[in-house]
Amino acid sequence: PELDQFMDTYCHLLNQYHDELTRPFKEAMAFLQNVELQINNISKGNQRVSLTADGSPRPEEERRPEEQQEEEEEEGGSCGEVDYETDAVLDPHAEDKLLRDQLLSKYKGYISTLKHEFMKKKKKGKLPKDARQRLLDWWSEHYKWPYPSETEKASLAESTGLDQKQINNWFINQRKSHW
């Protein structure tokens, strides 16, 4: 039950991380598509056609200088974004480091709690020497069929002072190492 609960919590946490990481990625992809569209619009040609008062097309050369200046100012605003993002392109790891730092600062407490839980649950260590010897004696007596019945496991647990789970694991490990 504890392992199931831990795995559920861990899966939920991984899903949250996935959602948090995909959102900036999607935003970055949308931004890149926008920049790509702007670059394509710029590179397709500088000859623009504006409409006259009656709706007929008028080439750029015939426009008034004020209209050209206004349009150039409007276009100038989007160039700053490209320059700003160029810094991130020069150092691709900077964004990763920033994201890592943000996630660490956000989940610092939760991560330290998980680390503390893992540190508490250490292995119990080796079995007591006399209990191990008792299990080895049983093993050597029944080497042809080293599968104790439930009653034999219960009597071994009583005589050694070990849990049923410890005895089961010992026999599993013993068979793995000797067969």
* Span(s) in the chain for CATH 1.10.10.60: 129-178
**Residue 73, pLDDT above cutoff 60:** no
Of residues 119 and 104, more confidently modeled: 104
**Residue 145, pLDDT above cutoff 70:** yes
Of residues 23 and 64, more confidently modeled: 23
Task: Please state which of the ranges 71-85, 92-106, 152-166 shows the lowest mean pLDDT.
Answer: 71-85
**Residue at 105: amino acid letter:** S
For the entire predicted model, the pTM comes to 0.33
**Residue 147, pLDDT above cutoff 80:** yes
| CATH, range 129-178 | 1.10.10.60
Q: Residue 51's beta-bridge partner residues?
A: 57
Between 129-141 and 164-178, two packed helices, what is the crossing angle to 10 degrees? Answer: 60
Give the pLDDT score at 54. 47
